[in-house]
Amino acid sequence: MATIAVLGTFDTKGAEHAFIAERIRARGHRPLLIDVGTGGPPTETPNFTRDQVAALAGVDLAEILARKDRGECVVAMSKAAPVFLAKLAAAHEIDGVISLGGGGGAAIATAAMRALPLGFPKLMVSTLAAGNTAPYLGTKDIVMMPSIADIAGLNRLSRMIFSRAAGAICGMVEAEIESDGTRPLVVASMFGNTTACITEAKRIIEAAGYEVLVFAATGTGGKSMEALIESGLVAGVLDLTTTEWADELVGGVLNAGPNRMDAVAKAKIPAVIAPGCLDMVNFGEHDSVPTKFAGRNFYLHNPQVTLMRTSPEECTELGRIIAEKVNRYTAPSAIILPKKAISAISAAGQPFHDPLADEALFQAIRNHANGSVEELDEEINSPVFARACAEKLLNLMSATSASNPTPK
């Protein structure tokens, strides 16, 4: 029998959470009801009250509630709930968590869920599930399920949705996880235009006894990779697709923020870096491209994605950024340049082939890098380049392991 936290605003959605709890009991598991409401008294009796949740985080809930500012109340509980839920999870007192909520409820519940480790079952049923969920999910594996109608009582539709949700969280906690936790973990960044490179490099690294996790360089993917690196679970980084910096600099839609590439410095682990796909900035449909970019070189990747070729000036700045990020790394690292192409579509004869822009990128990296920069007369997707990057990382990790034989 597993214990599943049923966390929610019991002042407005007590009956709905009680229904979820009943369905969890029917599946043979134990629900643990946690009230994080900030309005009137709860309509159902929780196992843990809102005051208990707030007190553990040092939040004076009574004082905040007295001001009757709903926004302030939600913010306060969004700070308290993560502390409370993380404590329960760390003590192995819960095996999963489920919540129902609209805007305020989802903000509080997903804040709490983001405090839980990857792999911990988390399910949020919300009216917001069909929109932009990035602010709610962050870099965590939270499952968001659309409530379809508002969460406002029990009816033929909500009973069906909530019953399925209860079944889903029960299934998640019941699932047996097969994992080989003995192999050291390597993370790699990949885009469609660097898939061949990463696929070959992954094969070589895994043949050497490592497990490779690949992250799509789509903004969220880069943020997730950075979070995992910073967690201390990673032995090495194969960051060959640094394209998210092009979107960050120029204004594309797949940026990972200004902290992309910072985690390696904090984790102090070996890394191999390449300027993969820095030839492109990502936008949505062609009509969504800002008018200020009129006249630039565009490539229609698919009906929903329009790529724009980076200019020599942009590449100069990107080269400086990449080099200065790597300069902060204290563990052994290497920058390797694929001189013939930095993506599948920047090779000779391809739509983004621009030797002047590429050379501006390479020269900026040479000018600003403190360490050595290796250069290969290869395309990024050539087996030769992939092998060189993989073997370089293996050598760096081996040397680091030899000099640090005991875990930190």
Q: What is the pLDDT of residues 381-399, one digit of tens each?
A: 999 999 999 999 999 999 8
Domain shared by 251 and 352, yes or no: yes
Among 337, 335, 330, smallest CA distance to 400 is for: 330
The contacts of residue 294 (CB under 8 Å, 6+ apart) are: none
Q: Is residue 89 part of a domain?
A: yes
Question: What pLDDT, on a 0 to 100 scale, did the predictor assign at position 180?
Answer: 63
Mean pLDDT of 28-35: 97
| Angle, CA 260 vertex, CA 255 and CA 262 arms, to 5° | 170
Region label for 287, one of left (φ > 0), alpha (ψ between -120 and 50) or beta (otherwise): alpha
The contacts of residue 109 (CB under 8 Å, 6+ apart) are: 7, 8, 36, 81, 97, 99, 101, 124
Domain shared by 104 and 194, yes or no: no
pTM above 0.85, yes or no: no
Estimate the crossing angle of helix 70-90 against helix 103-114, to 10 degrees: 30
Domain shared by 237 and 339, yes or no: yes
Question: What pLDDT, on a 0 to 100 scale, did the predictor assign at position 408?
Answer: 38
Q: Is residue 50 part of a domain?
A: yes
Domain shared by 131 and 189, yes or no: no
H or E element: which one contains 19?
Answer: helix 10-26
Q: CA–CA separation, 146 vs 165, rounded Å?
A: 10
Distances (CA, A) of 218 to 214, 265, 361: 12, 22, 21
Instruction: Write down which residue in 151, 174, 197 finishes a domain.
Output: 174
| Angle, CA 62 vertex, CA 56 and CA 67 arms, to 5° | 135
**177/248: higher pLDDT:** 248
Q: Is residue 408 part of a domain?
A: no
Domain shared by 338 and 207, yes or no: yes
Total domains in the chain come to: 2
- Contact between 237 and 186 under an 8 Å Cβ cutoff? The reply is yes
End-to-end CA gap in the chain? 36
Q: Which domain holds residue 11?
A: 3-174
Among 306, 309, 322, smallest CA distance to 356 is for: 309
Domain shared by 254 and 134, yes or no: no
Instruction: Write down which residue in 174, 205, 228 finishes a domain.
Output: 174
Whether residue 29 has pLDDT greater than 90: yes
Per-chain mean pLDDT for the chain = 93
Reported as a single tens digit per residue, the pLDDT across 347-370 is 999 999 999 999 999 999 999 999
Q: Is residue 179 part of a domain?
A: no
Reported as a single tens digit per residue, the pLDDT across 106-146 is 999 999 999 998 889 999 999 998 888 888 898 889 999 99
Tell me the torsion sign for CA atoms 14, 168, 215, 130. Answer: negative
DSSP secondary structure letter of residue 236: E
Among 202, 180, 179, smallest CA distance to 189 is for: 202
Domain shared by 226 and 157, yes or no: no
| Angle, CA 165 vertex, CA 90 and CA 77 arms, to 5° | 50
- CATH number of 245's domain: 3.40.50.12030
Q: Token digits for 13?
A: 């959605």
